[in-house]
C-alpha cells in the first residue's frame, strides 16, 4: 500500500515537472528575435589603412614662373697665358700665385746674351749706314754746285743722286734690323698682358726655358661670367636679357644673372647650345671654375596643383603620387610642370580638387583600400 502510494506520488511529480518545463519552453519560444548589427563593406582589418592627418597634404591650386634648369661653370672673361718667344734663362721672376698684377707690369726677365749682342751690332750698323747717307747727301749738294758752275757733266751729278738714294735705302734696312733685334731682346722682358691675378706659375729663377713655354696663367677676377649649355630642344628659353637664378657649388646663397650671349650654332656631337650670362652680384674669385646649377626664368606662368616635392615618387622617370581620394588609396600618375627644391614644392597636373597627398609610400596591394584618417595623439 505504502509502495503503491509512493509510486503514484512520484509519477505525479514527474508529470507536473514535465508540464512546467513545457510551459517554460512555450514562453521562451514566444519571445521576439534580436536583429543582427549590419557591417559596412570593406571594414575588415585587411581592407582598412589608418593614417594620421599630419601625413596628408591637401593639393591646392598654385602657380609658378616657368623655369628651365641648367648647369654650368663660373669663368673669367679676361684670361691670358704668358709664353716666351725665345730660348733663354730666367734671371728674375717677380710674380707669385695669387698676386695681383697690372697690364704692362714686368713679371719675368730672361737672360739672352745672343739677342743683346745682335741688338748692339745692328745699332752699330745703323749708325754706320746713317753716316754714309749723310756723306752721300753732302756729295749731292757739292755735285749740284759744280754742275751749276759747269765744272762737271750732268751724268756725274745724277750719279751722286743715285748713290744718295742707295744709302737711304741701306739706312732703312739697318733700321729694320735694329727693330727685329730690339724685339728679340725685349722678348726677354716678359710683361703681364692684362690686369688680374696670377693663378698659375711654371718657372723659377735660374731655370732654362724653351721657346713657346708657358710661364704664367692670369685671370681678371673683376669680370666673371657664367658659361653653360642647354639642349637644342629647349632653345626657345634662351633670350638675351633673360633673368637667371643659380647657386654655386658649396654655397647655398641664390645669385641672379642676365643672359648676355648665345652661341649661334649648336654642338654637332652633344646637340647642345652654349650660352653665357653676366652675374648681377659680386662673386668671390675663388668661385672661378666652380660648378653651378640654376634656372632660366621665363615670362610665362605655370598653373596646376601645388604639392610637396618630396611626395613625388620616381620623379625622373614616370612620376606619381600616393593619395587619398574619396576615402580610398590611389596611385596617381602626374606631370611635373615646375620644381622648387629650395622650398620643397612642385607644380603638377593630373590631380583633382580635394586630393590628399600622402607622405607615406604604399604598395600596389593597398590600392582602393579604405583610408581611416585620425588625429595624432
What are the boundaries of each domain within the chain?
40-77+223-377, 79-217
| pLDDT digit string, tens, across residues 78-110 | 888 888 777 778 888 889 998 999 998 988 888
SS (H, E, C) 100-166: EECCCCEEEEEECHHHHHHHHHHHHHHHHHHHHHHHHHHHHHHHHHHHHCCCCCHHHHHHHHHHHHH
Exposed / middle / buried, residue 308 (Cβ in 10 Å: 0-12, 13-18, 19+): middle
Each residue's pLDDT, cut to its tens digit, for the chain (377 residues) gives: 444 443 444 445 444 444 434 333 333 333 333 333 333 333 345 788 889 888 899 998 888 777 788 999 999 888 888 887 777 788 888 899 989 999 989 888 887 666 667 778 888 988 998 999 999 999 999 988 988 988 888 888 889 899 899 899 988 988 888 887 777 666 678 888 999 999 899 988 888 888 888 889 998 988 889 999 999 888 888 899 999 999 998 888 899 999 999 998 888 888 999 999 999 988 876 788 899 999 898 877 788 999 999 999 998 889 999 999 999 999 999 999 888 777 898 899 999 999 999 988 999 999 999 999 888 66
> CA gyration radius for the chain?
50
- Identify any residues that bridge with 63 across adjacent strands, giving them in sequence order: 303
Angle between helix 154-186 and helix 113-148 axes, rounded to 10 deg? 160
Task: Calculate the CA 247 to chain-centre distance.
Answer: 8
Strands laid side by side in the 106-111 sheet: 189-191, 106-111, 88-93, 208-209
HSE value, Cβ hemisphere, 13 Å, CA-based, for 32: 3
Residues 6+ apart with CB under 8 A from 77: 220, 223, 224, 225
Can you tell me the distance from the alpha carbon of 323 to that of 57, in angstroms, rounded to the nearest whole number? 9
Q: Say if residue 353 is exposed, middle or buried (CB neighbours under 10 Å; 0-12, 13-18, 19+).
A: exposed
**Whole-number Å distance between alpha carbons of 110 and 71:** 43
Q: What is the pLDDT of residue 32?
A: 35
CB 195 within 8 A of CB 102: yes
Could you identify the residue written with the cell 675663388? 286
Buried b (16+ CB within 10 A) or exposed e, 223-237: ebbbebbbeeeeeeb
The conformation of residue 372, written as its DSSP 8-state character, comes to: E
pLDDT tens-digit map of 18-46: 443 433 333 333 333 333 333 333 334 57
- CA distance linking residue 340 with residue 335, whole number of Å: 15
CATH topology for 79-217? OB fold (Dihydrolipoamide Acetyltransferase, E2P) (2.40.50)
320 close to 313: Cβ distance less than 8 angstroms:
yes
How far is it, in rounded angstroms, from Cα 203 to Cα 209? 8
Domain 40-77+223-377 listed as CATH 2.40.30.170: yes
Q: Which residues contact 93 (CB under 8 A, 6 or more apart)?
A: 107, 108, 201, 203, 204, 205
Amino acid at each position: 500500500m505504502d509502495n503503491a502510494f509512493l509510486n503514484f506520488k512520484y509519477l505525479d511529480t514527474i508529470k507536473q515537472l514535465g508540464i512546467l518545463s513545457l510551459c517554460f519552453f512555450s514562453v521562451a519560444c514566444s519571445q521576439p528575435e534580436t536583429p543582427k548589427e549590419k557591417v559596412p563593406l570593406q571594414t575588415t582589418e585587411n581592407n582598412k589603412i589608418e593614417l594620421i592627418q599630419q601625413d596628408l597634404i591637401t593639393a591646392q591650386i598654385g602657380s609658378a614662373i616657368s623655369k628651365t634648369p641648367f648647369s654650368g661653370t663660373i669663368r673669367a672673361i679676361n684670361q691670358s697665358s704668358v709664353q716666351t718667344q725665345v730660348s733663354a734663362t730666367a734671371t728674375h721672376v717677380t710674380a707669385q700665385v695669387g698676386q695681383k698684377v697690372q697690364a704692362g707690369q714686368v713679371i719675368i726677365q730672361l737672360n739672352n746674351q745672343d739677342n743683346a749682342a745682335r741688338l748692339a751690332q745692328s745699332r752699330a750698323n745703323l749708325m754706320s749706314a746713317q753716316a754714309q747717307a749723310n756723306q752721300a747727301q753732302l756729295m749731292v749738294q757739292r755735285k749740284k754746285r759744280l754742275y751749276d758752275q759747269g765744272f762737271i757733266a750732268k751724268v756725274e751729278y745724277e750719279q751722286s743722286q743715285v748713290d744718295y738714294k742707295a744709302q737711304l735705302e741701306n739706312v732703312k734696312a739697318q733700321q729694320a734690323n735694329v727693330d727685329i733685334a730690339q724685339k728679340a731682346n725685349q722678348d726677354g722682358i716678359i710683361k703681364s698682358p692684362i690686369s688680374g691675378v696670377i693663378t698659375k706659375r711654371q718657372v723659377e729663377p735660374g731655370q732654362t726655358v724653351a721657346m713657346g713655354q708657358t710661364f704664367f696663367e692670369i685671370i681678371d677676377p673683376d669680370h666673371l661670367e657664367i658659361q653653360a649649355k642647354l639642349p637644342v630642344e629647349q632653345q626657345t628659353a634662351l633670350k638675351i636679357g633673360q633673368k637667371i637664378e643659380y647657386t654655386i657649388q658649396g654655397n647655398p646663397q641664390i645669385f641672379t644673372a642676365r643672359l648676355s650671349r648665345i652661341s649661334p650654332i649648336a654642338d654637332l656631337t652633344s646637340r647642345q647650345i652654349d650660352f653665357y650670362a653676366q652675374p648681377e652680384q659680386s662673386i668671390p674669385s675663388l668661385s672661378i671654375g666652380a660648378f653651378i646649377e640654376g634656372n632660366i626664368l621665363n615670362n610665362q606662368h605655370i598653373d596646376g596643383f601645388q604639392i610637396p616635392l618630396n611626395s613625388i615618387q620616381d620623379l625622373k622617370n614616370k612620376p606619381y603620387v600616393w593619395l587619398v581620394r574619396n576615402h580610398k588609396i590611389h596611385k596617381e600618375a602626374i606631370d611635373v610642370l615646375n620644381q622648387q627644391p629650395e622650398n620643397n614644392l612642385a607644380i603638377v597636373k593630373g590631380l583633382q580638387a580635394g586630393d590628399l597627398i600622402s607622405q607615406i609610400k604604399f604598395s600596389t596591394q593597398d590600392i582602393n583600400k579604405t583610408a581611416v584618417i585620425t588625429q595624432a595623439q
